[in-house]
Copies of this chain bind each other. A is one copy, B any other.
Amino acid sequence: MRNIVITFGIICLCSLVLFQMAKVAIIKDTLPVEVLVGVFSLLFLVIGILYSRRQHVIVQHVPSDHENTTLLAPPSVVIETKPADKTLIEQMGISKREHDVLCEAALGLSNAEIAQKLFISESTVKTHISNLLVKLNARRRTEAVKIAKELNII
């Protein structure tokens, strides 16, 4: 929670600085208002996306009712949830994040690619994979994927 406050504080500070710089530019008539607004809109769009991705884990735990309220999110897509055997996943002691990594690995992605996609470091992916191999009693990711598909958990 503190981190979020700190992050926002930094963002606000940076924005203020940028804003003052931009204002000077406007006075000099070298920068139209449209460009200024556009730049800031884009900036905050990116900030919003990045921020949301961090919060992603929390969002995930909230069921379908939350997703329906999101902007332009068609309910039909959301309703089609994973058919994976969640009971079995729990029994195997596979955590949510590990399962995420497993799904991506099943798509044939490398650790680096999975890391980029899930916004975590490659070493974290390695940790997850390593744990998955133990839990699925596999020795390679290919075997892990095969077993996971046989168990219908992906």
Chain B residues whose CB sits within 8 angstroms of the CB of A154 once the complex forms? 63-64, 67
A59 touches B53 (CB 8 A): yes
Query: Does A49 interact with chain B (Cβ within 8 Å)?
Result: yes
Chain B residues whose CB sits within 8 angstroms of the CB of A57 once the complex forms? 67, 70, 73, 77-78
Chain B residues whose CB sits within 8 angstroms of the CB of A152 once the complex forms? 67
Q: How large is the interface on A (under 10, 10 to 19, 20 to 34, 35 or more residues)?
A: 35 or more
Chain B residues whose CB sits within 8 angstroms of the CB of A142 once the complex forms? 105-106, 108-109, 141-142, 145
Q: How far is the CB of A74 from chain B (nearest CB, A)?
A: 7
Report the separation of the CA atoms of residues A58 and B78 in the bound assembly, to the nearest whole angstrom.
7
Chain B residues whose CB sits within 8 angstroms of the CB of A1 once the complex forms? none
| Chain A interface residues toward B at CB < 8 A | 3, 6-7, 10, 15, 19, 22-23, 26, 33-34, 36-37, 40-54, 56-61, 63-64, 67-68, 70-74, 77-78, 80-84, 100, 103-110, 117, 138-147, 152, 154
